[in-house]
């Protein structure tokens, strides 16, 4: 080791603590800066992504060489991780027990998934083009349609919401009488007609399949039980990715796990008022970790499940297929066909409209940067975001989707997609913390993970050049 270039272990620890504190403070700020703060939210997101990229590409072992650190450093991080795990489980169990005692499940995402699971159990299609399940979007769409030239008749927005909420409680089909507004059948009204067919479930069939057995056992509380289980899955595979990226250092493997569990409002969204993308995130992180471990077939299955759970972030992980062999790609396509096929046969128009077209049909809201902007400014921002995403994809492709290349792409495309989207809700934020933690791991590790064949050098724990776990 070149002693002149070495830095004491506490500098690595200080860098990790400062980075974690900055990321946590920024993520916590989204609790306060929510509705009406689209510009500030996008600026905070850009800060997070820029910091992650700076650590990923500016701090790797090319610039830093660490001496051995005492075992108590890893011990402290292990205690911190254990505390976060225990407190998270305790929070989840407390919310589970509250709902078991009769509190209604809060927030729209958890409530809609619960209702959709019940609908499937009753033989009803939550994606049907003539169903009203999304009682958040429904009254807003009614108001917008009533101001347009294509609207002919329908209920008042407030009455329509009451009727739709009633259907969500008892699924009495008679409530549908007059619930779907009538749109004129003339040129120029195609978008309005699609809008009235987009009131079904906005989350994919594999998410519904994940919730269904838990709802059957614990009713509403099953949503919390499923979230808790999949949070554990996400933690396990986040740790696994950190272990690989950190050259099997126990110390470094804990960093992305802490980053994932630290933001309190993300845990709150997962349990107290369930509005969370924890299930698709867990499936996608697991797929990435398994593909890194060269277990491509099962990784492809989980990748298909993650994509079929929620279009975003599932879409962002699909380039992983380009580093897989043909068999894994066939398995991915087959799994996706098995998941989506029955619903395409049942009501293809409703599935396509609710899962795919809805993202283009919906209005912006005040959580997004685009809210209130003119057509030209919107197109410029979206065009720039597409360009940087394509540039990041080209960079990852040239590196054959190795760990650093793919992580760079994920950071960029997540930031660009959220910044250019019509909404920026807090449940999107759970897509990002583990990526920031993994960027920190690569930054603190002595060697960057550049091999496209997943060959990560393993440092002996006694080596003065490696981080001892």
Rounded (10°) angle between helices 250-261 and 71-100: 30
Question: Is the pLDDT assigned to residue 368 strictly greater than 90?
Answer: yes
Question: Is the pLDDT assigned to residue 260 strictly greater than 90?
Answer: yes
- pLDDT confidence of residue 467: 32
* Of 309-313, 356-360, 384-388, 418-422, minimum mean pLDDT range: 356-360
Asked if 392 and 408 touch (Cβ cutoff 8 Å), the reply is yes
- Give the list of residues 6+ apart from residue 274 with CB closer than 8 angstroms, or none: 105, 106, 107, 109, 110, 223, 224, 227
- Give the list of residues 6+ apart from residue 312 with CB closer than 8 angstroms, or none: 417, 428
Whole-Å CA distances, 366 to 363, 369, 377, 418: 10, 8, 16, 13
| CA dihedral over 413, 410, 433, 288, signed as positive or negative | positive
The reply to whether the predicted model has a pTM over 0.85 is: yes
- pLDDT confidence of residue 247: 83
Q: For 48-72, what is the mean pLDDT? A: 71
Q: Residue 454 — very low, low, confident or very high, per pLDDT cuts 50/70/90? A: very low
Please state, in angstroms and rounded to a whole number, the distance separating the CA atoms of residues 139 and 157.
5
Asked if 301 and 335 touch (Cβ cutoff 8 Å), the reply is yes
């Amino acid at each position: 080791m070149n002693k002149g270039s070495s830095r004491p272990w506490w500098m690595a620890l200080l860098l990790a603590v400062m980075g974690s504190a900055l990321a946590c403070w920024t993520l916590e700020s989204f609790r306060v800066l929510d509705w009406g703060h689209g510009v500030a939210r996008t600026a905070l997101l850009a800060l997070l992504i820029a910091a992650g990229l700076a650590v990923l590409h500016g701090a790797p072992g090319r610039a830093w060489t660490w001496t051995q650190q005492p075992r108590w450093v890893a011990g402290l991080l292990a205690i911190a991780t254990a505390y976060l795990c225990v407190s998270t489980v305790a929070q989840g169990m407390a919310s589970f027990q509250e709902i078991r005692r009769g509190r209604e499940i809060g927030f729209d995402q958890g409530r809609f998934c619960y209702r959709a699971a019940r609908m499937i159990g009753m033989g009803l299609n939550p994606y049907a083009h003539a169903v009203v399940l999304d009682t958040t979007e429904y009254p807003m769409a009614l108001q917008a349609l009533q101001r347009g030239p294509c609207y002919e008749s329908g209920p008042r927005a407030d009455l329509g919401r009451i009727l739709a909420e009633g259907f969500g409680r008892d699924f009495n089909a008679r409530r549908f009488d007059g619930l779907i507004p009538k749109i004129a059948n003339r040129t120029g009204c195609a978008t309005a007609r699609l809008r009235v067919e987009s009131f079904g479930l906005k989350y994919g069939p594999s998410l519904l399949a994940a919730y269904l057995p838990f709802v059957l056992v614990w009713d509403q509380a099953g949503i919390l039980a499923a979230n808790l289980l999949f949070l554990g899955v996400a933690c396990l595979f986040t740790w696994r990715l950190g272990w690989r990226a950190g050259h099997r250092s126990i110390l470094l493997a804990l960093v992305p796990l802490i980053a994932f569990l630290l933001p309190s409002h993300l845990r709150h969204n997962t349990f107290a008022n369930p509005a969370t993308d924890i299930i698709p995130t867990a499936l996608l992180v697991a797929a990435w970790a398994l593909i890194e471990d060269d277990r491509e077939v099962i990784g492809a299955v989980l990748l298909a499940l993650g994509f079929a759970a929620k279009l975003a972030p599932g879409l962002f992980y699909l380039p992983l297929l380009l580093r897989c062999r043909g068999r894994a790609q066939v398995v991915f396509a087959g799994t996706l066909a098995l998941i989506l096929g029955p619903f395409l046969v049942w009501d293809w128009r409703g599935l396509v409209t609710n899962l795919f077209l809805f993202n283009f049909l919906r209005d912006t809201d005040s959580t997004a940067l685009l809210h209130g902007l003119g057509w030209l400014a919107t197109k410029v921002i979206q065009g720039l975001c597409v360009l940087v995403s394509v540039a990041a994809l080209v960079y990852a492709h040239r590196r054959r989707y190795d760990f650093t290349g793919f992580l760079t792409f994920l950071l960029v495309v997540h930031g660009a997609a959220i910044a250019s989207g019509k909404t920026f809700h807090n449940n999107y934020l759970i897509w990002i913390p583990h990526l920031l933690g993994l960027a920190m791991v690569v930054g603190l590790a002595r060697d960057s993970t550049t091999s496209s064949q997943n060959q990560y050098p393993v440092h002996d724990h006694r080596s003065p050049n490696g981080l001892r776990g």
